[in-house]
Amino acid sequence: MMEHPARGYVKPDFKHIETWVFDLDNTLYPHHLNLWQQVDERIRDYIVRFLNVTHDQAFRLQKDYYKRYGTTLRGLMAEHGLEPDEFLEIVHQIDYSPLTPNPALGAVIAQLPGRKLILTNGTRHHADAVLRQLDIHQHFDDVFDIKAAELEPKPNAIVYERFLARHQVDPATAALFEDLARNLEVPHALGMTTVLVVPQGARVVLREEWELAGRDAPHVDYVTEDLAGFLRNIAGP
């Protein structure tokens, strides 16, 4: 575990946690596989066709909407009236074979007491595919995806409110693991324990400075470069 830069090292205190909530992409699977880059490229290609623009223009729009709206999808819906169903189906038609089983991660997740849930801006189909390729699907109780959130993306507050209500989660006894610090601000304010997962080499996946920022923010309780190791430390003596 990497200690929080604003605090001295302390053993993580998760004895009160009853619900374990995990983001999916770039949090649960190895960062260097760049699985999400495939989705990125499909989103860009979709924008080219949908708006009849160049790839460079599509790239700029994609990143602008992602930063301002939480997802490119939400930006396209707000600014161009995009119907989401076709978009979601097409952009998640990717090759999952780079992912391989992660028994070490599965073992520590299995040891966590209480419920384990996925909270993702992706689709349930995508989440199910990722979890099965990692062979950790059997350890999770449910997936709360972009459709369950009524197409509202993290970090919008309504997403977390809908998630907590749907699964009857008490935020005071829940922990959230995320790769983007901005997605932890609302959960922290609601009372959740927050963990920022920033594996070494994250810049390969996260190209924007704002995506890498925030590890020293007050709404980040813990920071780790090794999710499995961090969870093992929680479960250990």
In angstroms, what CA-CA distances link 28 with 93, 100, 192?
19, 12, 19
Q: How far apart are CA 1 and CA 9, in angstroms?
A: 9
Beta strands, E only, 23-173:
115-119, 142-144
Q: Of 86-95, 137-146, 199-208, give the lowest mean pLDDT range.
A: 199-208
Whether 199 shows a pLDDT value over 80: the answer reads no
What tokens does 53 get?
Answer: 């623009």
Six-digit token string for 167: 């699964």
Average pLDDT, the chain: 89
Block residue for tokens 């993290």: 154
- Are residues 140 and 120 in contact, defined by beta-carbon separation less than 8 angstroms? no
H/E element, 224: strand 222-224
C-alpha R_g of the chain: 17
The CA distances from residue 46 to 9, 87, 155, 224, in Å, are 46, 8, 24, 34
Structural domains in the chain? 19-31+100-235 (3.40.50.1000), 35-91 (1.10.150.450)
Band of residue 37 on the pLDDT scale cut at 50, 70, 90: confident
Side chain identity at residue 54, one-letter code: T
pLDDT band at 34 (very low <50, low <70, confident <90, very high): confident
Per-residue confidence band for 8, with pLDDT thresholds at 50, 70 and 90 = very low
Measured CA to CA, the distance from residue 137 to residue 5 in angstroms comes to 33
Is 0.85 topped by the overall pTM?
Answer: yes
